[in-house]
Structures are given as C-alpha cells and as structure tokens.
Amino acid sequence: MRSSRPAAPRLAAGPGAAAAAAAAAARRPGAGACRACATDRIKLGGSDLEVSVCCLGTMTFGKQNTEAEAHEQLSYALDAGLNFLDTAEIYPVPPAKDTQGLTDRYIGSWLKKAPGAREKLVIATKVSGYSTTNSYVRSPPETTRVTARQIKASVDASLQRLGVDHVDLLQIHWPDRYVPLFGAAAYDIANEREGDVSFEEQLRGLEEVVKAGKVRYVGVSNETSYGVSEFAHAAKAAGLPKIQTIQNCYHLLCRTAYETDLAETCRRHNVSLLAYSPLAGGALTGKYLEGGDAPATARFNLFQGYMERYYKSLARAATEEYAALAKANGLTPTQLALAWCRSRWFVTSTIIGATSVAQLRQNLEAFEVELSQEVIDGINSLYKKYRDPPTSA
C-alpha cells in the first residue's frame, strides 16, 4: 500500500542538494519523482512484503511509555502512512521479568481498538538467541536457544500477546552461537561455546512456524557476514526458508561493521538491512550534550549506565562535531543522523523509536531531508577522525 499523501517540495540541506536529490531518486526504488519521505515503500529481500522506509520501533512501550502513549504513537504512525512496526518477545527495554511482554500487549490492545489496522500493517517480531539472563521469557524458565521447540513457544506466546494469528516477519534477535554483541568490539575465541544449534536446525525450526501459517518470512538480527552466509547456504542446500532481512545497528557512530563485508554479503544474498538505533539511543539528537535539553525521563538519565558507550569519551566528542556540522548546514542533529541512514544504498528501512508523538513527528520529517554531497563529505571526514568511537575508546 503506497501513501496517498500529496507530493511536496523536498527539503534541501547544503549546497549541491539538487544534484544529490536526483542521484538519490535514481537509486531509490519506488520513489520516482515524488518527495522522498518516511512513508515511501520498498520490498524486503525477495519477499512480497512492501514496507515503509521508516519502521516504528516499539521497545519503549511499557517502560518509558504508558499504554495510552503507545496507542497514541501507533495511531499517529499509521495515520501518517507508516505500515511497518517492530517488536520483540523481550520488550520493553531494558529487559526485565516484571515488564517482559508489555510491548506486545500494548500493541495488541491497540489493534483491538483500531479496526482494519492489522490488514494495513507489516508486523515484525523477534525470538531470543542464546541467553542465560532472559530465561524468564520461557515457561518454565530456561536458557533461551534457537531450537524448533523454543521458536514455536516464542511465536505462540507472541501471537497471543499481540492478539493476531500470524506475524509477517520473525527475526532471530541475536545468534545462538557466541558473537560480540551490543558494543563488544572484538571476537574472542575464549568466549566460544560448545553445542551451538546448527544453522540448518534453526532454519528447520523456522520452517515449522512458516508452514503452520504463524509466520510469513524470516530474518536475523545482530548477525555477522559469516552467519548471513551460512544461513543462505543452508537454506539453498536443504530447501529451507531463506532469511530476507538483517536487523543490525547502524548510525553515524557505528558504521564499519556493516559498511565493509556485511554490505556486500547482504547484497549478494538479497538480504535487506533494517537499521536500528539510527540516533544511537538518542545520543545523536544532541540532547545529552552540554546545554542540551534532555529531561530526567530521557533514556540515558532514566537508566543509568544504559548504552553508556554512546555518551562517553570519543563518542561524545564525535557527537559534538556531528552536531556542529548539522548546525553549519541548517539542520538539526536528528535530521543529519536520520537523513544519513536514509541516504545509504544498503539501508532498506530505518527503525525509529520515540517516547512522544512530538519526537515521532520530528523523526518522520527528517526523512524528507536530502543531504548534499558537501554534507556527506563532511560526515565522512569526521568518520575518518572518529571511526566507530563506541567500540574504539
């Protein structure tokens, strides 16, 4: 379903914006001569899922957002033309036993009050990878693994909370095997474990819920080039469901891991990137910098130590310089960060998370900004100076 919103003049940023806009339109399927915006549609991988290039993230529902606030955001997003939302069995975050599943329940209670909304939406969720700390998501509690039994249990519980009979995309939230996660910089063989669930076994478990009509397509998250390739090869060799998407972290402070080999790997296997945390948990808005306007309820203030890699040492210095670059070109830091993700050829859909409708509106409007080549050059110059600072300092 394409947005019926009328075309409007494109917001330009920096000199050379017209040439940049033309180049972007040429490489962006479906955009044509119309304004680029958050509601533009694009296909996921080789599936028939056509989603908005902006996806509504929901991990704040149940911690930073009440049920009423969640409903307000969902209604605003749908009315604005978004058709893609992402949840997970462990949400909201930071994950905790007493709040686990609230995000899904809030979405489910909204769907009951919004006739016809389910048919308009592409709903993505995630099954947990290996974890000894989130055992409470299973009943009875156990170490989470990507086995057929646990995939089925996860999906059944998610469908019940959401109040739907199927989800459109099921993603493995993080691998069953050891990989560096959430800011860990380097692979360490000392952390490898025995007894990993094989790629084929994981796909066979996913196949079961697909064949049961509970899931339409499958994907991965927080995955590596090795993992994407192994899943692709196993699917082809055994005739199993192909992974269509990868949901990985990507933003101005976290580029290298995807831009190098993962970009090529996913292109070769037709796996679409769903970029999460495009504002680095809110750090790239600039609100946590000196003179910023972060309230006491802002994520980093509310949850002390959470995602601290984004606001300490070099990451903070880099954010200051990106904010200065934005200001020099008539942009807000939020516009710079989200327009950057939007401009990358390998980003299929960008997942945004907001704690208010005002934030959500600002985020959606940022998708209308086209970065000039001069601004992009400025970003790349800063990248040479600050190369993924959250994992380098």
At 131, give phi and psi (nearest 5°).
Answer: -160, 135
311 is an active site residue: no
- Active-site residue, selected from the candidate residues 91, 250, 258, 276: 91
Instruction: Report DSSP letters for 265-303, one per residue.
Output: HHHHTT-EEEEE-TTGGGGGGTTTSTT----TTSHHHHS
Rounded to an integer, what distance in angstroms lies between the CA atom of residue 60 and that of residue 106? 11
Maximum Cα interatomic distance, the chain, rounded to a whole number of Å: 60
Rounded to an integer, what distance in angstroms lies between the CA atom of residue 279 and that of residue 311? 12
| Nearest CA-CA partner of 225 in 257, 188, 202 | 257
Look up residue 5 and give its DSSP letter: P
For the purposes of burial, counting CB atoms within 10 Å of the CB of 189, is it exposed (0-12), middle (13-18) or buried (19 or more)?
exposed
Chain centre to alpha carbon of residue 197: 25
* Catalytic sites, residue numbers: 91
